Amino acid sequence: MRTAPTILHLDMDAFYASAEQAAKPSLRGKAVIVGGLGPRGVVATASYEARVFGVHSAMPMAQARRLAPNAACLTPRFGFYRGISEQVMALLRALSPLVEPLSLDEAFVDLEAGGAARDEESARLVGVALRADIRSVTGLTGSVGLAASKMLAKIASEQAKPDGLVLIRPGTERALLAPLTVRTLPGVGPATGDHLRRAGITTVGEIAEAGEDELVRLLGKAHGQALYTMALARDERPVVAERGAKSVSVEDTYDIDIHDRVRVGTEVQRLADRCVRRLRDAGLSGRTIVLKVRRYDFSTLTRSETLRGPTDDPSVVREAAARLLDSVDTTGGVRLLGVGVTGLADYTQEDLFAQAHLAAGAAPAEEHPEPDAAVEPVREEPPAAAGPVWRAGQDVRHTDYGPGWVQGSGLGRVTIRFETPDSEPGRVRTFRVDDPGLAAADPLPLVAAAEERSAAGSGG
């Protein structure tokens, strides 16, 4: 393990919720919850104002609304978040060629590889400058951890939250880890934590004291040895430059189980088209089509079909997904559907016609494990419906009133708040959902607002 704290871990603070607050002046300083808004929706993230009420990620949205009834609940805008993420990742890549993104809002950076830092003081200065640059460019805040290993840098950034910087000096790691709960270590979830607790082990220090043999007896060789090594603050994992996506996928959870087989087929076709759009946006093609079906009893089935070569043709993906659906029994109802593409490449097979129309050119459908995580978190969308569907938080523009966002909709009406990232909190107006002057719009950039807030801060 290195002798200087030159591995940096950045974690943006309440990223989705903070981005929404920056984009919507009326929500700044208020409780904001981002996630699926249907009966089965879950919280993706919550602002710190909402966390005061006990709201946290992965919580059922219904429970979050009970805890914070006055919070603004918004559907995610992943395209908007991705744009901000690209700005942040560009700042990280300016520091080092070794940047390992973990998600849209989190990444490791090897500061030694880029020559940005070689000792404690230079690493700290880089961390301070990075946080200032992020605030200047995006208007958002991020927490930075600095340490001699990835595990410790991540622990440090967690301790730095929100909007802080923590540096762990080499040589102090074991003393810092000893009193922390065992759940602090990577790979220790609720089940492992309970197993260790029943054995009288609740802190990282007690893991180290128990010894490797006891950990192996309790957890098995691989897990026990790994946990004991981490408890001794040993982590030799290198920062790995950005890894390409292993799969691209989309899926929808439905508020009411779908029983009609024709409707299921229509939804699969729609998902296939969305998946291809995402594939093309990433400049990729793929060779294996994957269908995911979660049935009424929560059982999840996946099927896959491997083509002769990679494709990004929507008709090819639609037809493959339809063939896969033919092998799945949807009797009883479906609560979730997903379509994914794996075996990614940055080129497309030329013989698309043969792939689309010659079933013999495809391998038979087979059982398939869960596909890798999607390029972005899964979006919960209601089924297609007649007429416009307006979702809370969605960007819109009105011919008379300009840009705004959907505050809520129902009973044939939609309420819009007209404001921009660099305006004062705006007025609210209500329209019919089919108002001819109202249209969906692209998100407005945060740059102007960020520069204005940065200038105001420097003047103070």
Query: Cα(115)–Cα(334) distance, rounded to whole angstroms?
Result: 53
pLDDT at 219: 87
pLDDT at 347: 53
Residue 344: pLDDT band with limits 50, 70, 90: confident
- 3-class DSSP state for residue 144? strand
Whether the Cβ atoms of residue 151 and residue 41 lie closer than 8 Å to each other = no
Residue 15 CA, distance from chain mean position: 10
* pLDDT, tens only, 151-200: 999 999 999 999 999 999 999 999 999 999 999 988 788 888 898 999 99
Place of tokens 């893991």: 207
Residue 387: pLDDT band with limits 50, 70, 90: low
Report in angstroms the alpha-carbon separations of 410 from 413, 430, 434: 5, 11, 12
Residue 107 CA, distance from chain mean position: 12
Tokens of 28: 């700044």
In sequence order, what are the beta bridge partners of 429? 416
Is residue 106 part of the annotated active site? The answer reads yes
Flag the least confident range among 1-10, 68-77, 137-146, 297-306. 297-306
Residue 357: pLDDT band with limits 50, 70, 90: very low
- Mean pLDDT for 201-208 is 95
Which residue in 34, 8, 36, 38 sits closest to 22, CA to CA? 34
> How many residues in the chain?
460
* pLDDT, tens only, 219-273: 888 888 989 999 999 999 999 886 666 788 998 888 888 999 999 999 999 999 9
- Residue 349, pLDDT > 50, answer no
- Residue 413, pLDDT > 80, answer yes
- Mean pLDDT for 16-37 is 95
Instruction: Please give the mean pLDDT across all residues of the chain.
Output: 86
Percent of the chain with pLDDT over 70: 87
DSSP assignment, residue 394? Answer: -
First to last CA, the chain: 42
- Mean pLDDT for 309-332 is 90
HSE, CB side, 13 Å, CA atoms: give it for residue 251: 27
pLDDT at 308: 77
Residue 42: pLDDT band with limits 50, 70, 90: confident
Domains of the chain: 175-231 (1.10.150.20), 247-367 (3.30.1490.100)
Whether the Cβ atoms of residue 368 and residue 343 lie closer than 8 Å to each other = no
| Among 20, 106, 376, 380, the one annotated catalytic | 106
pLDDT at 351: 37
Percent of the chain with pLDDT over 90: 64
- 3-class DSSP state for residue 284? coil
- 3-class DSSP state for residue 253? strand
Higher pLDDT, 370 or 405: 405
Query: Cα(443)–Cα(457) distance, rounded to whole angstroms?
Result: 25
Query: Cα(118)–Cα(258) distance, rounded to whole angstroms?
Result: 58
Which residue in 382, 286, 297 sits closest to 339, CA to CA? 286
Query: Cα(195)–Cα(193) distance, rounded to whole angstroms?
Result: 5
pLDDT at 1: 74
